[in-house]
């Protein structure tokens, strides 16, 4: 596609299709990234990543179950490969994630693992300290707690009981969360802040991008954390669908609500990262042109909303190409949710860009808000740049002497009670 721009008698031919997402995003201060499982397999995967993205995150390799193989053992091989790939290319590297109710190591999820509340906090601190120390200087922002609020706006994810087993959180169970106002969340952030004060700390969740009960609960969590200086970024996963509605509330796409929610989150002083973007559509029956156009417009609108909100700094898709996406395996009958399809061409080969890609490219080209060049490589943030950090007993984290046996927790208050 060629655009003719006529200005002061000069004719400038802009070859829009030659501008990669990375080039455009760099100039607009946006981190455009992708979740990857293993760069280098196939080689085309690397080529596309190098050309199109200035950000990267491990799809699975940095999760609790992948990293902490035993109560005293850690395995970093898979995560190192991806993180080092990103660092070597000056990418914005996201860490994903520390505390989640899924993909736990088997020693932790085992019903015979029942440590006391105190021991749980000690283990949590050991885990966070070890992993943050291992990656020191390489990770820009890190999802500390993932999906603490349950789906369908029911409430905080409980320790046991309310849902199918895999919806409950063992972290909530072991810390007796309901009786202690979910202080495991605050504590995880406090341990992380203390382990590495240069990393931006993120609370990450889904189905809270627009307005609604779950979004309000997430807002309350991050505003409480922010007032203690413990969180820097809200991570909005953005697993959306467009087209005929499905049962359940997951992924409803209401763009006007996003604008409103982004505004109130930005007003808290938080950065906003879109962390796991994909826009799924029905694949059976095969999508028609109208549905594909709706999906393309969805991507374009989401990027436009991010670009229009100065606090929104990152737009990460959850995968690179459709064949490696988690969507078909998790949402039966849905797929083709990403920016690239599965065919490759050229030398070196690259994945084929889809309409969704062109939608994102159009949004980037259309913005007049050039926020300045994205700084290459790591942007380390000194502790002083944060608001003062306090532990959950109100002590200033930066001056309180480090005591390896100290367990951070708070007394029962009505804060966060839902």
Q: Is 278 in the site for ligand XIL (CB under 6 A)?
A: no
- Give the helix/strand (H/E) hosting 88: helix 77-88
Q: Is 391 in the site for ligand XIL (CB under 6 A)?
A: no
Site string for ligand XIL, 226-255 (x = CB under 6 A): -----------x------------------
Show contacts with ligand XIL in window 11-50 (CB under 6 A).
none
For residue 63, the minimal CB distance to ligand XIL (Å) is 7
For residue 205, the minimal CB distance to ligand XIL (Å) is 9
- Output phi, psi for 386, to 5 deg: -80, 160
Contact 331/46 with Cβ under 8 angstroms?
no
Cβ closest to ligand XIL, residue 121 vs residue 135: 135
Please give the size of the binding site for ligand XIL, defined by CB under 6 A.
Answer: 6
Cβ closest to ligand XIL, residue 341 vs residue 362: 341
Cβ closest to ligand XIL, residue 96 vs residue 409: 96
The closest residue (CB) to ligand XIL is 326
Cβ closest to ligand XIL, residue 78 vs residue 90: 78
Q: Is 167 in the site for ligand XIL (CB under 6 A)?
A: no
Q: What is the 3-state secondary structure (H, E, C) of 256-289?
A: HHHHHHHHHHHHCCCEEEEEEEEEEEECCCCCCH
Of 59, 141, 147, 209, the catalytic one is 147
Closest CA to 76 of 121, 132, 125: 132
Q: Is 146 in the site for ligand XIL (CB under 6 A)?
A: yes
Q: Is 59 in the site for ligand XIL (CB under 6 A)?
A: yes
CA atoms within 13 A on the CB side of 268: 25
For residue 368, the minimal CB distance to ligand XIL (Å) is 33
Instruction: Write the CB contacts of 267 (distance below 8 Å, at least 6 apart in sequence).
Output: none
Q: Is 187 in the site for ligand XIL (CB under 6 A)?
A: no
Cβ closest to ligand XIL, residue 232 vs residue 278: 278
N-term to C-term CA, the chain? 52
Q: Which residues pair with 279 in a beta bridge?
A: 240
Candidate list 50, 60, 198, 220; residue touching ligand XIL; CB under 6 A = 60
Taking 3-state DSSP, the helix, strand and coil percentages for the chain, each rounded to the nearest 5, stand at: 35, 20, 40
Distance CA 379, CA 212 (A): 34
Would you call 52 a catalytic residue per the annotation?
Answer: no
Contact 235/273 with Cβ under 8 angstroms?
yes
- With 0-12 / 13-18 / 19 or more C-beta atoms within 10 angstroms meaning exposed / middle / buried, residue 113 is middle
Cβ closest to ligand XIL, residue 24 vs residue 277: 277
For residue 64, the minimal CB distance to ligand XIL (Å) is 11
Q: Provide the token pair at 78.
A: 């898979």
Distance of CA 178 to the CA centre of its chain: 26
Cβ closest to ligand XIL, residue 94 vs residue 300: 94
What is the four-CA torsion angle of 63, 65, 68, 71, rounded to 10 degrees? 140
For residue 74, the minimal CB distance to ligand XIL (Å) is 19
Show contacts with ligand XIL in window 325-364 (CB under 6 A).
326
Contact 314/133 with Cβ under 8 angstroms?
no
For residue 237, the minimal CB distance to ligand XIL (Å) is 6
Q: Provide the token pair at 142.
A: 């890190």
Contact 30/313 with Cβ under 8 angstroms?
yes
Distance CA 276, CA 318 (A): 4
Candidate list 52, 183, 232, 276; residue touching ligand XIL; CB under 6 A = 276
Would you call 276 a catalytic residue per the annotation?
Answer: yes
Of 59, 141, 209, 276, the catalytic one is 276
Q: What residues are labeled active site?
A: 147, 276
User: Where do contacts with ligand XIL occur on this chain (CB under 6 A)?
Assistant: 59-60, 146, 237, 276, 326
């Amino acid at each position: 596609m060629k655009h003719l721009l006529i200005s002061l008698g000069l004719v400038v031919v802009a070859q829009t299709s030659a501008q990669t997402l990375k080039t455009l995003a760099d100039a607009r201060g946006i981190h455009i990234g992708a979740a990857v499982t293993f760069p280098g397999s196939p080689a085309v995967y690397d080529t596309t990543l190098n050309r199109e993205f200035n950000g990267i995150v491990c799809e699975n390799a940095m999760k609790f179950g992948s990293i902490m193989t035993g109560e005293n053992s850690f395995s970093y091989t898979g995560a190192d490969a991806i993180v080092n790939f990103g660092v070597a290319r000056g990418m914005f590297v996201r860490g994903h994630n520390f505390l989640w109710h899924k993909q736990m190591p088997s020693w932790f999820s085992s019903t015979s693992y029942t440590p006391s509340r105190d021991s749980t906090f000690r283990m949590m601190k050991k885990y966070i300290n070890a992993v943050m120390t291992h990656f020191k200087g390489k990770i820009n922002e890190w999802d500390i707690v993932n999906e603490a609020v349950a789906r369908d706006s029911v409430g905080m994810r409980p320790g046991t009981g309310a849902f199918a087993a895999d919806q409950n959180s063992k972290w909530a169970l072991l810390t007796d969360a309901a009786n202690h106002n979910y202080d495991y969340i605050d504590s995880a952030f406090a341990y992380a802040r203390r382990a590495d004060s240069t990393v931006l700390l993120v609370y990450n969740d889904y189905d809270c991008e627009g307005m609604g009960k779950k979004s309000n609960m997430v807002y309350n969590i991050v505003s409480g954390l922010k007032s203690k200086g413990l969180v820097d970024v809200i991570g909005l996963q953005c697993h959306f669908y467009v087209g005929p509605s499905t049962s359940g509330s997951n992924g409803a796409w209401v763009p006007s609500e996003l604008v409103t929610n982004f505004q109130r989150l930005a007003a808290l002083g938080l950065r906003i990262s879109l962390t796991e973007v994909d826009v799924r559509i029905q694949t059976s029956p095969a999508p028609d042109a109208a549905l594909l156009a709706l999906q393309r417009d969805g991507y374009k609108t989401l990027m436009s909303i991010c670009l229009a909100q100065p606090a929104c700094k990152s737009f990460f898709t959850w995968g690179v190409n459709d064949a490696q996406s988690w969507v078909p395996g998790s949402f039966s009958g849905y797929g083709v949710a990403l920016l690239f399809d599965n065919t490759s061409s050229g030398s070196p080969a690259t994945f084929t860009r889809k309409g969704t890609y062109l939608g994102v490219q159009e949004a980037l080209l259309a913005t007049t808000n050039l926020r300045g060049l994205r700084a290459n490589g790591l942007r380390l943030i000194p502790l002083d740049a944060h608001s003062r950090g306090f532990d959950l007993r109100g002590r200033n984290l930066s001056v309180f002497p480090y005591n390896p046996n100290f367990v951070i927790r708070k007394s029962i208050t009505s804060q966060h009670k839902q």
